[in-house]
């Protein structure tokens, strides 16, 4: 398998012969499915790849709270408000597990968060789209958490121990999020009036393609995949995961009585998968460059939250110092 990756990888990978003894032992450990732990030796590029991916993942969880937070005051009932608040708190928790996993690699949380606030760090493209109606909250739970689960179920088996263990807990919570999102949409479609049904279809029309973009560029344009697959950080390719998501989501779409904004979406019995149309990759790369509908707003909101919370952090430090002095006296 390794030789094959060397042949097909977008970036050329080192062959086993070209590796140092330490690198070879590391690769053999990975091939034997033994997890890498924080204190084990690892190539610097493996460490940097993980810091990149885990920090982006953590930022996505934290920024992902914003489009949903926008609807807490407008949820249609107390029950829906409580569910939404619980979901948003779960996302904050996911961010915290992930920043902690990242710190085990020697990365500094404040530095990475500063990179997010200065607009330098990436986070999932999907969170740069607005949530315009209550149906969007259902669609985010169903499609966005649904796509995240497909990606994260595989990451439970990622080669780095702390990341893999964080994923196990996160996946359990994401499954609940996905179901509550779907239930919001099902309720609107089964019990709602025509305007509410139209809102559901409109939400799906707007969020369908951006959800497919969450899996990243197609395999031949994914510069990091070959090396990440060889290191078993990633265990399935962007396109494989995207296809799995589509295959499992279309029957749920049909049960809702809705359609996808893709005239080419149809079952291909020969392949045993759904065929689908062209993703607008220009739009994806524009969003990554900071030119999506909400990029600036998201980063500005995060920055404002940090500034607004400065007094709380200062008070907590002052209190801790006072307590420490008292204990020392
Ligand atoms: N958005 O070589 P590639 C959630 C970047 S949150 C932005 O394929 P890789 C939730 C990529 O980073 C769940 N950027 O990269 C929270 C790379 O850039 P750099 C979020 C993207 O890393 C709240 C470049 O494009 N999940 O569920 O091998 C409320 C080339 O790509 C995206 C995760 O973060 C994108 N969509 O594979 C509700 C999963 N796609 O760094 C819900 C963890 C690609 O080279 N991450 N890029 O400059 C991963 O699994 C992988 O990082 C990816 C990309 C599959 C996303």
pLDDT of residue 16: 83
Ligand 1 neighbourhood includes 218 CB (under 6 angstroms)? no
Ligand 1 neighbourhood includes 91 CB (under 6 angstroms)? yes
The protein residue with its alpha carbon nearest to ligand 1, atom 31, reads 222
Q: Mutation test of ligand 1: which of 9, 124, 169 has the most ligand atoms closer than 8 Å to its C-beta?
A: 124
What does the alpha-carbon distance between residue 146 and residue 318 come to, in Å, rounded to a whole number? 43
Structural domain contains residue 274 = yes
Counted domains in the chain: 1
pLDDT of residue 235: 97
Structural domain contains residue 155 = yes
Structural domain contains residue 297 = yes
Spacing, Cα 266 to ligand 1 middle (Å) = 27
Q: What angle do CA 151, 181, 157 make, to 5 degrees?
A: 20
Q: What is the mean pLDDT of each run of 10 residues along the chain (329 residues)?
A: 44 83 95 97 97 98 96 97 97 98 98 95 98 98 98 97 96 94 98 98 98 97 96 98 98 98 98 98 98 97 95 96 91
> Which of left, alpha, beta for 60 (phi over 0: left; psi -120 to 50: alpha)?
alpha
Structural domain contains residue 11 = no
What does the alpha-carbon distance between residue 295 and residue 291 come to, in Å, rounded to a whole number? 6
Spacing, Cα 216 to ligand 1 middle (Å) = 6
Position in ligand 1 atom list of the atom nearest CA 228 = 28
**Measuring CA to CA, which residue among 194, 192, 242 is closest to residue 215?**
242
Contact 115, 121 (CB under 8 A): yes
Name residue 266's beta-bridge partners. 275
pLDDT of residue 145: 97
Residue-range definition of the domain harbouring residue 212: 16-328
Q: Mutation test of ligand 1: which of 51, 52, 56 has the most ligand atoms closer than 8 Å to its C-beta?
A: 56
Structural domain contains residue 8 = no
Provide the CATH number for the domain around residue 241.
1.20.1260.10
pLDDT of residue 14: 83
Structural domain contains residue 279 = yes
Spacing, Cα 14 to ligand 1 middle (Å) = 24
pLDDT of residue 281: 98
């Amino acid at each position: 398998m390794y030789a094959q990756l060397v042949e097909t990888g977008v970036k050329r990978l080192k062959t086993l012969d070209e590796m140092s003894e330490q690198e070879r032992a590391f690769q053999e450990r990975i091939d034997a499915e033994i997890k890498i732990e924080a204190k084990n030796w690892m190539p610097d590029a493996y460490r940097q790849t993980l810091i990149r991916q885990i920090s982006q993942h953590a930022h996505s969880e934290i920024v992902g709270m914003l489009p949903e937070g926008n609807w807490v005051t407008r949820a249609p009932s107390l029950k829906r408000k409580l569910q939404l608040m619980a979901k948003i708190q779960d996302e904050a928790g996911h961010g915290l597990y992930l920043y902690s996993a990242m710190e085990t690699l020697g990365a500094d949380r404040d530095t990475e968060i500063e990179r997010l606030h200065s607009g330098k760090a990436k986070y999932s493209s999907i969170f740069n789209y607005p949530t315009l109606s209550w149906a969007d909250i259902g669609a985010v739970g169903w499609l966005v958490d649904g796509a995240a689960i497909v990606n994260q179920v595989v990451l439970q088996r990622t080669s780095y121990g702390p990341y893999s263990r964080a994923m196990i807990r996160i996946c359990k919570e994401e499954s609940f999020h996905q179901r509550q999102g779907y239930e919001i949409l099902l309720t609107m479609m089964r019990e709602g009036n025509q305007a509410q049904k139209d809102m559901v279809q409109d939400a799906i029309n707007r969020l369908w393609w951006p959800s497919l973009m969450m899996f990243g560029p197609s395999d031949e344009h994914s510069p990091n995949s070959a090396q990440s697959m060889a290191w078993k950080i990633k265990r399935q390719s962007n396109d494989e995961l995207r296809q799995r998501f589509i295959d499992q989501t279309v029957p749920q779409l049909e049960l809702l009585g809705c359609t996808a904004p893709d005239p080419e979406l149809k079952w291909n019995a020969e392949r045993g998968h759904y065929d689908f149309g062209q993703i607008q990759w220009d739009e994806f790369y524009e969003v990554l460059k900071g030119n999506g509908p909400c990029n600036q707003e998201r980063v500005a909101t995060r920055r404002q939250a940090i500034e607004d919370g400065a007094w709380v952090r200062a008070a907590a430090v002052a209190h801790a110092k006072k307590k420490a002095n008292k204990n020392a006296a």
